[in-house]
Amino acid sequence: MLSRLDDASRKTNPMTIHPTAIVDSTSQIDPSARIGPYCVIGPNVIIGAETDLRHHVSIPRDVTVGERNVLHPFSVVGGDPQDRKYQGEGTTCVLGNGNDVREHVTIHRGTENGGGVTRIGDSNLLMVGCHVAHDCHIGDEIVIANQVMLAGHVIIEDHASIGGGAGVHHFTTIGCSAFVGGLARVSRDVPPYTIVEGHPSEVRALNVIGLSRRGFSADDIDAMKDAFKRIFRGSSNVSGHVEDLRTEYSHVRAVQTLCDAITASSSGTHGRALEAQRTDDKWTGTVGAGH
């Protein structure tokens, strides 16, 4: 049962947990964490060092929050999944280190059918009002802009960016260092290092700016430009182009990553590689770091 901290607890950490906060006795909060006014922390929650809950933050239950995160007002981390199959079974949500979770963000726990874990990596920015549904796996250093909607079982790989108001279909993968334009409707996998926009979204260009910011060499960027032109602007024999590129650019990791993604998506259902793993049994996804 939730209860306000007793007087002894307030004296022990007078500046760490605000007296109006409600914290379940089974939760573990690092002494250096800061719990602001009117926050509600449910059972079996772990909050790491120097994490800051500003005020009116809700962490309902069964959540692990790492170190140096900032959770802004009215964000909800670890809410029940919005899935009719969910029947109250024990699932969790894991938030890594150094994330900035802005106002009104909602992140839901996993489902048993989806592997049981919603996972957020490190150093991500989740802007106002975005939603991360059950069983999503989000990597590191990702920017998700205002009002983005991620359906269940979505994977977002490292260094990707998603523009405001975009909607991402369940079981979709957004590749590393990809950029999704604002208000895009994403119903197919987004290849790594590309820019997609539109309704429905389409691949528009190579994310050259993203590659440059990541420190790719000029030679590697030229190789990626060639790969992009041949896969997305060449003949319809995509599989043939992919095999040729694997051989010609065996030394360029980014080209190999792009080829792997194209092959996986084409073998999946509706252009989503993860759909091939979708069964009535448990599903687990993994976040690919890319380069």
Active-site residue among 152, 175, 268, 288?
A: 152
Rounded (5°) CA angle 241-242-248 = 85
Q: What is the pLDDT of residue 279?
A: 61
Q: Domain range spanning residue 196? A: 7-207
- Quick one: pLDDT band at residue 68, thresholds 50, 70, 90? very high
Residue 104 falls within a domain, yes or no? yes
How confident is the model over 129-150, as a mean pLDDT? 98
Residue 37 falls within a domain, yes or no? yes
Told to judge if 152 belongs to the known catalytic residues of this protein, a careful annotator would answer yes
Told to judge if 134 belongs to the known catalytic residues of this protein, a careful annotator would answer yes
pLDDT in tens, 199-228: 999 999 999 999 999 999 999 999 999 999
Active-site residue among 72, 134, 137, 159?
A: 134
Residue 142 falls within a domain, yes or no? yes
Residue 246 falls within a domain, yes or no? no
Burial code (b: 16+ CB inside 10 Å, e: under 16) for 151-174 equals bbbbbbbbbbbbbbbbbbbbbbbb
Residue 289 falls within a domain, yes or no? no
Residue 242 falls within a domain, yes or no? no
d(CA 287, CA 189): 13
Active-site residue among 135, 140, 189, 260?
A: 135
d(CA 226, CA 208): 12
Question: Secondary structure of the chain: what % helix, strand, coil (to 5)?
Answer: 20, 25, 55
Residue 19 falls within a domain, yes or no? yes
State how many domains the chain has. 1
Q: What is the CB-side half-sphere exposure of residue 69 using CA atoms within 13 A? A: 28
CATH of the domain at 40: 2.160.10.10
What pTM was computed for the model?
A: 0.92
R_g of the chain computed on alpha carbons: 21
Residue 259 falls within a domain, yes or no? no
pLDDT in tens, 140-159: 999 999 999 999 999 999 99
- Quick one: pLDDT band at residue 278, thresholds 50, 70, 90? confident
Told to judge if 116 belongs to the known catalytic residues of this protein, a careful annotator would answer no
